[in-house]
Amino acid sequence: MKIPSDLRYTEEHEWISVDDDVATIGITDYAQGELGDVVYLDLPEAGTKVGQLEAFGTIEAVKTVAELFSPVSGEVIEINAHLEDEPEVINADPYGEGWMVRIRMDDPSELENLLTPDDYRTLIS
């Protein structure tokens, strides 16, 4: 199972990468494996404000429906529209083409509240 060392994680199994004040968010390889085949996503529209560790959408898989939680507070500036037609990309490439949203962060210091790769590895083991 992949746990990239350059990302931060939530206890709810989201990952985040940061470029300046823009965060790209998706679910982890572990999460997609637990969910099974992803069949549908309900993501927020651009312009939506989200709070740290608040639900911003849902992911539906063959096994279950789960909420998605934002690792940071901010404004959604982009969603991965490709996932509307091909949500299964999340299963194939959760850390790449399977990203879900991009958020302009309100407070980059919130990153300190997230799990390191080692912390996340411990959480799922």
CATH of the domain at 76: 2.40.50.100
Structural domain contains residue 79: yes
Ordered DSSP codes for the chain: ----TT-EE-TTSEEEEEETTEEEEEE-HHHHHHH-SEEEEE-PPTT-EE-TT-EEEEEEESS-EEEEE-SS-EEEEEE-THHHH-TTHHHH-TTTTT--EEEEES-GGGGGGSBPHHHHHHHH-
Strand partners, 66: 59
What pLDDT, in 10s, does the model give residues 48-105?
999 999 999 999 999 899 999 999 999 999 999 999 999 999 999 999 999 999 999 9
Structural domain contains residue 50: yes
pLDDT band for 1, please (50, 70, 90 cuts).
confident
Structural domain contains residue 84: yes
| pTM summary value | 0.95
Residue 33 has a pLDDT of 95
- Split into its structural domains, the chain has a count of 1
Structural domain contains residue 121: no
Which residues form the domain of 31?
11-114
